[in-house]
């Protein structure tokens, strides 16, 4: 048994699975994880994380039916077997029951937590016919669930090729960083109406020798999964700080650069990680704007406030990214020391026509107005979308091909100089 949760361990799990495989009895394997447990461990300590895991396991155990068996084969991972549960309808009903058992919040040391499960599902014998492959493929489905932030994922053979690709990227990334094989790119943030460039959004490009161009979103997921986020972020920050003085030497007007903070780095003391790099290059704190994901900030609003206050005290401005896609309350947002709210790109898609996307956008603009927070709208790629935004009657910053394309870092200085008056 696991000493913390009291659940059967991996040996007990194997003893339960082996006879069913020998007798060719169909069953489902659901691999579960408590979302954000690692972050809770970093932020609140092991005692809080352990207590959350205990409650997570207790509630799951209480939800089981007679044909189900629960075990804990690894420290943070739970496996539930469903004897005879093989149809998609049966499995979905089972997963819904598990989620329902976890709905009530958990309060620990004046903090409220919600137990959100991540679940990967593999079926015997349809997806695998032996113990090793069942476990491995269940974990693979869970990885995709974690990365895509989905409630659950069923195993699919296409995942095997994808997993191999991600592993290779994680292996090759450290060497690519050491050799500066990655390229810094920037997309202008344009004041609208008006057309002045006020800032630049930092992006990455990696031309992998085997896989070609790696999208920024995929690269970020790989670094998060394989614990390379901090290393990539610091490389990113160094590159930005090297470029900013060069643009100034070229006689361009001063602009800020916006850089997104990965979830793993959003913790107390973030300002102390960043300020020495800015000081090394003689840059003011105002040269940098940090993007903080709305969902990350809302995981623990008390710590989010502490982290953000530390950044603002140092002079670093903050944009709340993917605004509208999370679960922020008005009262909470009004307490955070924000300089911008950055709309998730999906809210600028389809707005050129009357309908739900337009109404959602109007609601978010109204909320930003109540909060007296300026907006950044990203993913604005078509003139018709730009026209709708202008008609909202609110000054904002716009990012997208409709106003300015992505530029290599070495071209930014010339681009900025050409846009200056005279």
Average pLDDT over residues 14-37: 91
Clarify whether residues 215 and 181 are in a common domain: yes
| Domain closes at, from 115, 135, 156 | 156
Which of 61-65, 120-124, 383-387, 416-420 is least confident? 416-420
Clarify whether residues 31 and 129 are in a common domain: yes
Which of 77-86, 158-167, 267-276, 397-406 is least confident? 158-167
Clarify whether residues 356 and 401 are in a common domain: yes
Average pLDDT over residues 186-192: 94
The answer to the question of residue 330 being in a domain is yes
| Domain closes at, from 156, 190, 211 | 156
Average pLDDT over residues 392-402: 91
Clarify whether residues 289 and 342 are in a common domain: yes
Clarify whether residues 98 and 170 are in a common domain: no
Clarify whether residues 312 and 238 are in a common domain: yes
CATH number for position 412: 3.20.20.450
- pLDDT-based confidence at 29, cuts 50/70/90? very high
Reply yes or no on whether the pLDDT at 422 is more than 60.
no
Reply yes or no on whether the pLDDT at 309 is more than 70.
yes
CATH number for position 40: 3.30.70.270
Reply yes or no on whether the pLDDT at 324 is more than 80.
no
Average pLDDT over residues 193-211: 92
Domain that holds residue 408: 166-419
The answer to the question of residue 2 being in a domain is no
What pLDDT, on the 0 to 100 scale, is given for residue 421? Answer: 63
- pLDDT-based confidence at 96, cuts 50/70/90? very high
What pLDDT, on the 0 to 100 scale, is given for residue 111? Answer: 81
Average pLDDT, the chain: 87
| Domain closes at, from 128, 156, 184 | 156
The answer to the question of residue 1 being in a domain is no
The answer to the question of residue 377 being in a domain is yes
Total domains in the fold of the chain: 2
What pLDDT, on the 0 to 100 scale, is given for residue 277? Answer: 96
The CA-to-CA distance between both ends of the chain, in Å, stands at 75
Reply yes or no on whether the pLDDT at 45 is more than 80.
no
* Residue with the larger pLDDT of the pair 301 and 386: 386
* Phi then psi dihedrals of residue 32, to 5 deg: -120, 150
Burial label, 61 (beta-carbon count in 10 A; 0-12, 13-18, 19+): middle
The answer to the question of residue 116 being in a domain is yes
Clarify whether residues 90 and 171 are in a common domain: no
Clarify whether residues 217 and 351 are in a common domain: yes
- pLDDT-based confidence at 325, cuts 50/70/90? low
The answer to the question of residue 223 being in a domain is yes
Clarify whether residues 74 and 184 are in a common domain: no
Tokens for 78? 């739970």
Clarify whether residues 205 and 72 are in a common domain: no
Q: What is the pTM of this model?
A: 0.70
The answer to the question of residue 130 being in a domain is yes
Average pLDDT over residues 141-163: 85
Burial label, 272 (beta-carbon count in 10 A; 0-12, 13-18, 19+): exposed
Clarify whether residues 347 and 205 are in a common domain: yes
Clarify whether residues 104 and 172 are in a common domain: no
Highest mean pLDDT among 108-122, 270-284, 319-333: 270-284
Average pLDDT over residues 242-258: 83
The answer to the question of residue 5 being in a domain is no
């Amino acid at each position: 048994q696991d000493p913390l949760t009291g659940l059967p361990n991996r040996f007990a799990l194997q003893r339960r699975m082996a006879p069913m495989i020998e007798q060719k009895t169909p069953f489902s394997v659901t691999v579960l994880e408590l979302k954000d447990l690692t972050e809770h461990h970093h932020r609140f300590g092991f005692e809080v994380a352990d207590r959350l895991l205990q409650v997570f396991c207790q509630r799951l155990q209480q939800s089981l039916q007679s044909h189900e068996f629960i075990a804990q084969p690894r420290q943070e991972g739970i496996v539930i077997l469903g004897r005879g549960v093989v149809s998609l309808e049966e499995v979905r009903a089972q997963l819904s029951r598990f989620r329902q058992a976890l709905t009530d919040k958990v309060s620990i040391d004046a903090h409220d937590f919600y137990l959100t499960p991540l679940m990967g599902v593999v079926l015997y014998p349809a997806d695998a016919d032996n113990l090793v492959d069942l476990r491995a493929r269940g974990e693979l489905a869970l990885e995709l669930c974690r990365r895509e932030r989905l409630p659950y994922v069923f195993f699919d053979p296409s995942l095997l090729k994808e997993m191999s690709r991600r592993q290779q990227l994680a292996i090759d990334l450290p060497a690519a960083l050491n050799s500066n094989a990655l390229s810094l790119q920037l997309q202008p943030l344009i004041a609208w109406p008006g057309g002045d460039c006020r800032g630049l959004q930092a992006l990455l490009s990696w031309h992998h020798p085997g896989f070609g161009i790696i999208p920024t979103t995929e690269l970020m997921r790989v670094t998060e999964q394989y614990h390379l986020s901090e290393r990539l972020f610091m490389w990113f920050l160094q590159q930005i700080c090297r470029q900013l003085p060069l643009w100034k030497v070229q006689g361009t007007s001063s602009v800020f650069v916006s850089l997104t903070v990965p979830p793993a780095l959003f913790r107390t003391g973030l300002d102390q990680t960043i300020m020495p790099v800015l000081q090394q290059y003689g840059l003011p704190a105002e040269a940098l704007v940090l993007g903080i994901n709305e969902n990350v900030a809302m995981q623990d609003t008390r710590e989010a406030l502490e982290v953000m206050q530390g950044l603002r005290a140092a002079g670093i401005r903050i944009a709340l990214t993917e605004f509208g896609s999370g679960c922020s309350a008005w009262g909470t947002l009004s307490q955070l020391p924000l300089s911008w709210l950055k709309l998730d790109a999906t809210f600028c898609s389809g707005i050129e026509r009357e309908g739900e996307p337009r109404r959602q956008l109007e609601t978010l603009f109204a909320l930003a107005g109540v909060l007296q927070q300026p907006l950044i709208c990203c993913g604005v790629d078509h003139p018709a979308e730009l026209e709708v935004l202008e008609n909202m009657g609110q000054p904002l910053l716009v990012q997208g091909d409709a106003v300015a394309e992505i530029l290599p870092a070495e071209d930014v200085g010339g681009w900025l100089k050409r846009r200056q008056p005279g």
